[in-house]
Structure formats: structure tokens, C-alpha cells
Amino acid sequence: MPLKYALVHEWLTPKATGGSELVVREILNHVAADLYALIDFESVNPDSYLYKRQIGTTILQHFPASRHGVQKYLPLLPLAIEQLDLRNYDVILSSSHTVAKGVLATPEQLHICYCHSPMRYAWDLTFDYLHQSNLGHGVAGWMARYLLHRLRQWDVLSANRVDYFIANSQHTARRIWRCYRREAAVIYPPVNVDNFPFSAEKEDFYLIVSRLVSYKQVSLIVQAFNELQKPLVVIGTGPEMKNIQKISKSNINILGWQPDDVVKKYMSAAKAFVYAACEDFGIALVEAQACGTPVIAYGMGGASETVRDIRSSPPGTGTGVLFKQQTAAALVDAVQEFETYSGKIDCAYLKTHAGNFSSQVFAQRYLDFLRMCKENKIVPGL
């Protein structure tokens, strides 16, 4: 009898279009799995590949305004994910950055978790969450801190329900070890590199494409280019938009949200793609390289694994410049260094390098890992 697979993700909405959703889509391209999530508003979206698909959900599906951000019900997410009844499946695959890995499984089942990040609300972004939610002080602040404390306890406990972890980068694998004391194999997420137009001809502007939220550090980039007085194009929207518009000088062009075809046009024409956030992986950095566009990025997190610093790489294999401090001054120095070395960057090699993170590479490595897990797991029927 063929094995029955369940794939569990956090939420499926038209606004959830990041790297974790690309992983879900790619897995479903190769594994015949039933899909589950906390909430689902994609199966009723005619533009979605999940349109009319049967997707299992939780009680949060019916909560007010859940489609606009189920994170507002953060204290209930662990309880909700545990209500999914997956006993009829042989293999559980989870795609987790919040609570998906916490589904309940029996000893006879195999659970493989592709972890995009340990729960950021409970770990790395605890103090950002308290600040942005205005819960940092008073009785409400202490209640929020206690809630986050309990979330950390649940997050560690639920990690023991996973048989095998996959991380989306070496950086994430180290965070999984720090939070859960669990080893994780590294399989980089799929990037649709063939969908990005290559161009060796570059125009005289730098580019950032990002959600305008505090941890993305777009304001830091703007401050650096205010000083450099070099042309910078900013694509994206978010709560930081007004602040970024306020501090930007005339050399900075803020375009807001743009459709994919416009983003690709700018990405292929830019002199360099600039990024100052510490990302677990950073798909946009690979997309830029697929366009033949060099990257100037903060050299922590996934960027250190996807961008080859031209100053330390063999001739012809550099793909950008990494800066070590998350400051405007360090970025200014990095841009000036980039302009010194930019003539030595082979744009064609950038596209070749980006191919190491393609959807095809992801599928092969994921399926090989799945096969290995099934062979190693001693489970009746597997």
C-alpha cells in the first residue's frame, strides 16, 4: 500500500507569498500529500495554485479577521495546531516557522520538519514584539512576557515531536541547535531562478526590494545612501514607509509596492542589490544574482552562504560585497569597496551561482532526504 502523507503549514493566505510558501508549493509538486494549516484563504482564491483544493484547517479559520493576520491570536496558535487529527497518515511533513512542527503524532508515524526558523516571536524578536505591540510596560507587559515565556517552553517541548529537522540554511541550523538542542540537515529553499531575466548591462542605480518593517533595516540603507548621494530605488511597503519617506533625500526614489514584472525589470537593471537585514536565508539575494546583479549585504545569516565576497573569492567567482557591522557607516564603506571591485565581477557567473539554489536542486535534495529518513526510521509499514 502507498504511504499516506500529510503536509502541515502555518497559514495560507493571498498575502503569504514568502519563502516558506515556495517550499510548500515545491513539496506538493513532488509529494502527493494532503494539506493542512491553521487557516486557509487560498483554496477560494482563483489566482492561487491551491484554488478549490481540500485543505484541513483549525478553529481559527472562523475567528474574526483571521485572514488578515492570525498572528493576533498568538496565545492560541499552539493549542490550535494540536487539534489537527493526523492519525491516519504514515508520514507527516511540516513546513514550520511558528507552530506547524507542534502537530501531535503517534510513535508509528514519521515526522520530518522543514524549519524556516524557530518561532521568532518567542526567541529572536521577543523585545521587538513587546515594543511594537505596546506591551513593554506595566501589568500588560508582564502578562505578555509570561505568555512569551510559556511559548518558549511549548516550542522546545514540541521540537521533541519531530523525528528529523531540515534547516533552510546553516544559520538556521545553528539557531535550531541553540533553541532545541537538535541537529538539522541543511537544504536551501527553492528559488525560481529561471523566472528572473538576466542582463549584463547595468544602469546607474542601486536597489532594495523589501517589506518596510523595522528588522529589515531599510532605514539604515536610506541613511547610508543619503550620505553617499548615490541613486537608490526602494520597492516595497509596510509600517516603516512614512519614516523612510521622511528621512529620504532627493537621490532616493521610493516606488512602494510594485508587481512582479516591474520588480524583475529593476532587479535586472540595477548596479547592485543592497540588503541590510539578518535573514535566515534571503531569497531576494539569490533572485538578484539570477539577474546577474551583484549584492551588497550584511554578512550575517543566510547572506554569508549565498553571496561570495569578491574580496576573498577566487578571480571571477565573486558575487558581491559583505559588510560585517549593521550600521550605515559600514554600508557606506561597503558600497565604496564595491565600486572599486565592480569591474571584476562576472555577471554570467552570478547567474550560474544562483543555479545552486534552484527549485530543481531543492527537489532532488529534499526527496533524497525523505527517502533516507524512511529507510532509517523503524516504523511498521515504512
Q: What is the pLDDT of residues 12-40, one digit of tens each?
A: 988 777 789 999 999 999 999 999 999 99
Place of cell 539569490: 286
Are the CB atoms for 309 and 341 separated by under 8 Å? no
Cell numbers linked to 34: 494532503
For residue 381, what pLDDT is reported?
47
pTM exceeds cut of 0.75: yes
323/337 Cα distance (integer angstroms): 10
Cβ within 8 Å of residue 7, ≥6 positions away: 24, 27, 28, 31, 33, 34, 35, 36, 93, 94, 95
The grid cell for 70 is 492570525
> Could you report the per-residue pLDDT of 172-187, keeping only the tens digit for each?
999 999 999 999 999 9
Ranges 58-62, 190-194, 303-307, 375-379: which has the least confidence: 375-379
Return the percentage of the chain with pLDDT > 90, whole number.
81
**Average pLDDT, stretch 87-106?**
96
pLDDT (tens digit, 9 = 90+) per residue, 221-278?
Answer: 999 999 999 999 999 999 899 999 999 999 999 999 999 999 999 999 999 999 999 9
130 pLDDT higher than 70: no
What average pLDDT is seen over the chain? 92
Beta-bridged to residue 39, according to DSSP, are 11
